[in-house]
Chains A and B, each alone.
Chain A
Amino acid sequence: MNLFKLSWKYLTFRPLSTGLNVFLLALGLAIITVLLLIQDQFEKKMNQDAAGIDLVVGAKGSPLQLILAGVYHIDFPTGNIPMDEAQKLSRNRLVKNIIPMALGDNYQGFRIVGTNHDYPALYEAKMQSGVLWTKPFEVVLGAEVAGKSGYKVGDEFLGSHGISVGSHEHDANKFKVVGVLERKGNVLDRLILTSVESIWYTHDEGEAEPADSTTNQEEHHMIKLQDSVAVKGFPKTSESRDLTTLLIQYRNPMAAIQLPRLINSGTSMQAASPSFEMSRLFELLGVGITLLQGLAMVIIGISGLGIFIALYNSLKERKYDLAILRAIGASRGQLLLLIFLEGIMLTFMGAVLGILLGHTFLSVIISQNEQGVVGSLQPWIFLKQELWIVVYALTVGVLASIIPAFAAYQTSIAKQLTKA
């Protein structure tokens, strides 16, 4: 028998009241844990996905939308841009590298991105199996796409038009898997990569269908399918073609000042900076996060009050017990400690439960939301800040116990025991 055990016995002697207080505290702390985890991983992920991309160029529209569609692949693209205008941009001395992208198709909700080999290189992607695409209609799957669809190198599938599930399928040409990327926890996991040419040809077929297809055109395409595609720079073509977005890396810091202005005022395209747009987005989300944090604080405050009331009430019933403990040799200090221990044990349980509950909440959110950005968060990563949650909870416990503990300290044994 010691003080720890005695405190524990008293806590378990009132399981409902103890349980309610622990649960209430855990709920408040769980919200904070979820916020911490999402904020941390989201920002990390957002920064990781945007790393190396200084500027995104696309059709005029909302700059935030352009970033969300071009970098994170979660929003609809703003529209298409003519390729010759894009090519002019690549000759600008301020541009170090430019990655063209053609969007517009999906396979079961996973976006098919037409680009060149610089794009996977940007994220230092490694092949898990197979090789990168070199011919039209050859595709490389992101790790998550491969996992969900079960496709391996050599398998074939049909893409659908549009970037969300449920649109009509392009049944003229099948995509052929030639490689699968290693899982890196970034945006590539959720993408299907192919050449820009593949995207073009898919749509050529679609448009050719209603018109009178001549043997001439058929032959033309047949030849193209045997050609290899551009793995660097822009695809070669004699026709006037469209792209969706361009990812640009600056050659020097000067470019950050000149290039966006040049593009926004001098062309029919718009330029947006991922870092600027994302900080604007976080600012907007910040209001919601602050609100949730406030709610969590209120719940924690209430649970603190609950713990205080529970300890204080139980103290009234236990004045005899405390007097008896004094009569059998306990000092005032030990009684003080006994009550503090109860508060601290209660909140410690609340903290541990809260953190576990928070991680569980997150894993439920993730399992409900597999194809969105949230889907790639990791629910069972533990952060250093979670230790602060424990410290914070224990502070609540100590604060809630102060008054009851001093009341216990001041209990007069003679008066209590002889009241009869």
Chain B
Amino acid sequence: MLFESKKLEYSHPGQKTLIFPDISLASGESLLVLGKSGSGKTTLLNLLAGLLKPKAGEVILATKDFARMKGQEMDLFRGKEIGIIFQKPHLLAALNVKENLQMAHFFSKKKGQDIGQLLAELGLSEKAKSSVLTLSEGEAQRVSIARALANSPKLILADEPTSSLDDENTEKVISLLKTQAAKIGAALIIVTHDQRVKAHIPNFVEVQAS
């Protein structure tokens, strides 16, 4: 197994402890995380990304349990091995498209994928030098996918990546995520409540508010 999470628990201050279902994925596999609003989907995603520390349990990626990593070590591990796509693209407005991707290489201290080629595969070649402020929502989301893929991560996490996109763009984004994850041999986890996504990925777990 490339990626496994076991017996993950987390408690927000002053609230009941959340217990999450175990996940295990092989290279190239994809999984949906479903659940109602407020069920803790996003908390799970944060735990899987190492952005939050679990109360108990372990998260193992490529034989490394990063649930116990700290500070800079965690930041660097996340930069190198985990690509995250957020609900909103959150591109750095001061930089152009290409520079946004270069930042991923710089901070993870990893060479990663060739940016020109990556942009070409995502149909963004002619936007490389454009300011990110000139992009459409669909384009911006694709750039944020490119940023998540830039370091050839072993795990790709996506948090409601299609919630603000139209049908056509949703189609594009999901198939992009699937093909790219398969190409670099990464595990793909998508947190969503979007019906359109369910049609593409049969595999799912459900988070239930307890």
A interface, CB within 8 angstroms of B: 1-2, 6, 9-10, 12-13, 320-321, 323-334, 413-414, 417-418, 420
> Known contacts A327-B51, A331-B76, A414-B52; is A320 also within 8 Å of B90 by CB?
yes
Instruction: Indicate which residue in A13, A321, A327, A330 contacts B84 across the interface (CB closer than 8 Å).
Output: A327
Q: Taking the nearest CB of chain B, how far is it from the CB of A328, in angstroms?
A: 5
Q: CB distance A329 to B99 under 8 Å?
A: no
Q: Is the CB of B90 within 8 A of A321?
A: yes
Q: Does B103 have its Cβ within 8 Å of any Cβ on chain A? A: yes
Contacting A at CB under 8 A, from B126-140, are none
Q: Which residue of B lies closest to A314 (CB)?
A: B94
Pick the contact of B104 from A2, A9, A328 — CB < 8 Å? A328
B42: chain A residues at CB < 8 Å are: 418
From B18-26, B105-113, B176-184, B199-207, the one touching the partner chain is: B105-113
Contacts of A413 in B (CB 8 A): 51
How many chain B residues sit at the interface, stated as a range, is: 35 or more
Name A320's closest neighbour in chain B (CB-CB).
B90
Q: Which 3 A-B pairs have the closest CB atoms?
A: A329-B79, A13-B94, A329-B108
Sample 27 A-B pairs with CB under 8 A, ordered by A number.
Answer: A2-B106, A6-B103, A9-B95, A10-B94, A12-B94, A320-B90, A323-B90, A324-B90, A324-B92, A325-B92, A326-B75, A327-B51, A327-B86, A329-B75, A329-B79, A329-B80, A329-B104, A329-B151, A330-B75, A331-B72, A332-B71, A332-B75, A333-B72, A334-B107, A413-B51, A417-B159, A418-B42
Task: Output the nearest chain A residue to B163 by Cβ-Cβ distance.
Answer: A420
Contact present for B87 and A328 (CB under 8 Å): no
Q: Say yes or no: is B46 at the interface (Cβ < 8 Å to chain A).
A: yes
Cβ of B68 to closest chain A Cβ, rounded Å: 17
- Complex Cα–Cα for A13 and B103 (A): 16
Q: How far does the Cβ of B19 sit from chain A's closest Cβ, in whole Å?
A: 19
What A residues does B72 contact at CB under 8 A? 331-333
A418 & B46 in contact (Cβ 8 Å cutoff): yes
Q: How many whole Å from A11's CB to the nearest CB in chain B?
A: 9
The listed residue (B45, B88, B108) touching A328 by CB distance below 8 A is: B108
Does any Cβ of A come within 8 Å of B154's Cβ? Answer: no
Q: Which residues of B contact A332 (CB under 8 A)?
A: 71-72, 75
Least CB distance, A405 to chain B, in whole angstroms: 17
- CB contact under 8 A between A418 and B106, given known A10-B94, A328-B79, A330-B75: no
**Proximity string of chain B (156-195) to chain A, C-beta cutoff 8 Å, 1 when within and 0 when not:** 0001000000000000000000000000000000000000
Give A1 Cβ to nearest chain B Cβ, in Å.
4
Contact B93–A13 (Cβ < 8 Å): yes
With a CB–CB cut-off of 8 A, which chain B residues contact A329? 75-76, 78-80, 104, 107-109, 151
> By CB atoms of chain A within 10 A, which of B95, B103, B147 has the most?
B103
Cβ–Cβ < 8 Å partners of A13 in chain B: 93-94
A6: chain B residues within 8 A (beta carbon): 94-95, 103
B102 touches A (CB below 8 Å): yes
Question: Are B90 and A417 interface neighbours, CB within 8 A?
Answer: yes
Q: Which residue of A lies closest to B92 (CB)?
A: A321
Given A1-B99, A9-B95 in contact, is the A330-B107 Cβ separation under 8 Å?
yes
Q: A1-B99, A327-B78 are in contact. Are A417 and B107 (CB under 8 A)?
A: no
> Please, which residues of chain B bring their CB within 8 A of the CB of A333?
72
